[in-house]
Amino acid sequence: EPEVTQTPSHQVTQMGQEVILRCVPISNHLYFYWYRQILGQKVEFLVSFYNNEISEKSEIFDDQFSVERPDGSNFTLKIRSTKLEDSAMYFCASSDLASGRSLKTGELFFGEGSRLTVL
């Protein structure tokens, strides 16, 4: 069964360092997302991406964050200068909202997550 894969599973970094989290969405999906979850709490929307551009972003997704789909398969989240409060689990998700396969359910399929620890 197709799945969303994320790397690394865990990254420890020093405050102020740049971090790149990588995701390979399900191959025929067209919408891609990053969410984050702090300590098993609420799942917070960061950004959605469609047709090679950001379609929506939240207030959390400030200038320190960026996303890219560099090669047609990977979808990356970059945090330029990490802060302590960026420590969280980051989930990538993809959706078949526009794939025409499933009556536009918009169901998100999540990866296993990348745990980011900022020291």
Query: Which residues would be at the binding site for another protein (CB under 8 A)?
Result: 31, 33, 35, 40-45, 48, 50, 55-56, 58, 91, 93, 97, 103, 105-113
Closest distance of CB 25 from another protein, Å: 14
Q: Which helix (H) or strand (E) holds 110?
A: strand 108-110
- Of 9 and 17, nearer to another protein (C-beta) is 9
SS3 state of residue 88? strand
CB of 67 to another protein, least distance (A): 13
| Contact status, residue 47 vs residue 34, Cβ threshold 8 Å | yes
Nearer to another protein, 19 or 47 (CB): 47
